[in-house]
Structure 1
Amino acid sequence: MSPLVMRIISASVAVSHRAGRIIRDVMDKGQLGIVEKGKNDFQTQADRSAQRCIVASLHRQFPKVSIFGEEDLDPTEKIEPDFIETNYDEEVLTKNCPEYLQNVTDEEIVIWVDPLDGTAEYTQGYLDHVTVLIGVAVKGTAVGGVIYQPYYNYQEPPEVKRGRCIWGVVGLDSFGFTHTSPPADKNIITTSRSHSNRIVTESVEACEPTEVVRVGGAGHKVLLLIEGKVHAYVFASPGCKKWDTCAPEAVLHAVGGTLTDMHGNKIYYHKGVQKRNSGGVLATLSKHNWYVDKIPDHVKEVLCPDTEKTDSLL
């Protein structure tokens, strides 16, 4: 039998496809069921249904593993049988598990789920910004991630397959995309489309961008990074949560990139950690310390470092 971490990633890839179909189905029916949780913080029927699908499916297969999802859902609500996905992705299981992950136990793992990253964009029609995020942390460190794009190729002719799944394990690699280096003569920075303020803008400008790309979703921004479309993801705000960054961090780290808070400190994902990334988010493919040093001190002073720690693998 494959090691536990690889089985979880394999199951997560399979269920991400199922969640993506749910998200597309809700949009096709036109009954989004939008609830505003806070300023620029929305929840739809797609968020709720996709999370029920992911959490229930993974819990059935891995009942001893802690799972945290973005949405607060009624735990007594009956899950429809067709929401349960118990298949594994066979391609994942053909890969060799990195040695440091081969003997991990259920109790050492936390799964972080954002069933629909980029909800505001989903409701506004920016469908290519939307991702499903399933991150796997071991002893507080993000080690595996699945990023599913339900609307990849959605503007192509009907015969072209919709959706794609990117997954990665730190120490193995990331798969499902073409890794390209960004243009050497530019410094393109991506940041939030819908959650901006003076501090966010000052931090981006301090990094001397030649171009700024404002898009929705942490998952989408990290995809821009690994596909060589931007050089850095700069978000000087405590707006992101652990379920926004766990999967993207692992996928990025697996191809040699770095994701930290704005101080350059590691973000921790163990069970007892605060959910909010209070130190902001900074992600790069290279020159990470250069960007950390560019962030103004007065910005760092208003963003509390994410200091919760646990036994670390990496």
Structure 2
Amino acid sequence: MADLLRLLLRVAEKAANVARVCRQEAPLFQLLVQEKTGDDKNKKFVQDFKTLADVVIQEMIRHDVGAQFPEMADFINGEESNKFENGLGESVTVTVCSTEQKTATLLATVLDDNQTAASLLARAIHQDPATIDTHTDGLTVPLSPSELGIWIDPIDATSQYIEGREEVLEEGHLSPSGLHCALVLIGVYLRNTGEPVMGVINQPFNHKDPAGGGWRGKYFWGVSYGAINLCSESRPEASSGAGMSVVLSSSEKQVVKEALTSLCSPDRLMYASGAGFKILCVIQGLADVYVLSEGSTFKWDSCAPHALLRALGGGVVDLNKSLQSSAGVQDQQTELTYHQPNAERKGADRWANHGGLVAYRDCSQLCSITGALRGKL
């Protein structure tokens, strides 16, 4: 498990490099921000580059993890499909090839034969990042890779990534939008129970390098299995006297906002972009709880940060199940799991968190949330 964690941190940093390169290299940036429509749309370039950037990152992670742990190869899943159809009607499956040149050639078939963009992207995919020190050499978890599956969200909060607004993060303060909301998420779960046991989060755009001006990232990780709970973040201290703080989506239902004002003052109801980022805010103690009443998140959004929260003594529950539970608190029946699709749904919707969710660090705060919302939804 220590080897797997080190690998996931490394591939997440490679993914972050790809995300940064796509914004800083002019040929890639033009593809990223360009939205052609009607007669101006390139008929051969059917797929937009935003999707390709996501797919490239996802397939790079799948390739690298499958190469080192082949027993996991068939259980590495993500948000994106890796099949494209170009303007000639040819179906192209995007994969990471054995060499940088072969990968560039493949990408050029999707990128309207844009050799410069394809080469830049291939170079970032095949470039190994600096070694990341996890301080986990002694990590021993009685699990085998053959028992595990992976969920990947290659770029969570894609709209913030595309918009590219640069915000300066203040220590201890939640900044609701901007490039920093875009995260690479890699979550590991048990195939037989769906329990999240390891998570890696990479924030590619955490701060600017004062010397060179380029973006630098930050990474977070957690392992939670049985009595083993380790996390790169310390458990935040409980807020004193200020009341509970809750982070929501700006589109959250008014009835939810009104119900939660009984628990916290209006200035403690906060809003932010990206499901992964909102859970990261709870992990970091920038908010106590994240509440979402809609089924608009997916397994790839929540798996990685869920593992970190578990390592800190918290978790992520299905809101609807928690409201219906006679116990009214977190238990094994209400925690989100990651191994089984919803058979009644189709496509990506099979993997949605349909009951909404609550991400929390403290069970007493979860009880307060469910108490305030019971009978309102």
**Class of the TM-score when normalised by the shorter of the 2 chains:** 0.7 to 0.9
Q: CA deviation at 1:240?
A: 0.5
Q: CA deviation at 1:157?
A: 5.6
User: Displacement, 1:27?
Assistant: 1.4
Secondary structure at 1:64 match in 2 = helix
1:41-63 superposed Cα distances (whole Å, 9 cap, x missing partner): x9544322211211221122222
**How far does the alpha carbon of each residue in 1:193-247 deviate from its partner, in whole angstroms, 9 at most, with x for none?**
4x53446545644654542221112221122212221111111110010010010
Q: Using the alignment, how far apart are the partners of 2:7 and 2:339 within structure 1?
A: 21
Q: Does 1:290 align with 2:359?
A: no
1:227 to 284, 294, 298: 284
| 1:134 corresponds to 2:134 | no
Identity rate, percent:
27
Matched residue type, 2:15:
A
Larger Rg: 2
| Counterpart AA for 1:284 | Y
Aligned with 2:11: secondary structure?
helix
> After superposition, where does 1:1-314 map in structure 2 within 5 Å?
5-29=1-25, 30=29, 31-32=31-32, 43-65=50-72, 66-74=75-83, 76-80=93-97, 81-82=99-100, 83=125, 89=132, 91=134, 93-97=136-140, 101-106=141-146, 108-125=147-164, 126-138=178-190, 139-154=193-208, 158=212, 162-170=216-224, 171-175=228-232, 177=233, 179-186=235-242, 187-193=244-250, 195-198=251-254, 201-202=257-258, 204-205=260-261, 207-210=263-266, 211-262=268-319, 263-264=321-322, 265-270=334-339, 272=341, 274-286=350-362, 287=364, 288-299=366-377
Equivalent pair of 1:131/1:150 in contact (CA under 8 Å): yes
Secondary structure of 1:279's aligned partner: coil
Over 3 Å counting, the alpha-carbon distance change for 1:207 and 1:84 in structure 2 is farther
Matched residue type, 1:285: R
How many residue pairs match? The answer is 283
Q: Decide whether aligned partners of structure 1 residues 148 and 133 sit closer, same or farther in structure 2, where only a CA change above 3 A counts.
A: same
> Contact 1:20–1:149 (CA<8 Å) still a contact in 2?
yes
Q: Relative contact order: is structure 1 or structure 2 higher (C-alpha 8 Å, sep ≥ 6)? A: 1
Q: RMSD in angstroms over aligned alpha carbons?
A: 2.8
1:137 is aligned with what amino acid? Y
* Greater helix share, structure number: 2
The structure-2 alpha-carbon separation of the partners of 1:86 and 1:22, relative to structure 1 and needing over 3 Å to count, comes to closer
TM-score, scaled to structure 1 = 0.80
Unaligned runs of 5+ in 1: 36-41, 300-314
SS of residue paired to 1:234:
strand
TM superposition score normalised by structure 2: 0.67
| Cα displacement string for residues 137-170 of structure 1 (whole angstroms, at most 9, x for unaligned residues) | 0131001100100001138563687101100101
In the superposition, relative to structure 1, how do residues 160 and 32 fare at CA in structure 2: closer, same or farther (>3 Å)?
closer
1:114 and 1:124 mapped to 2: Cα distance?
Answer: 18
- Tell whether the 8 Å contact from 1:57 to 1:84 is kept in structure 2 after alignment: no
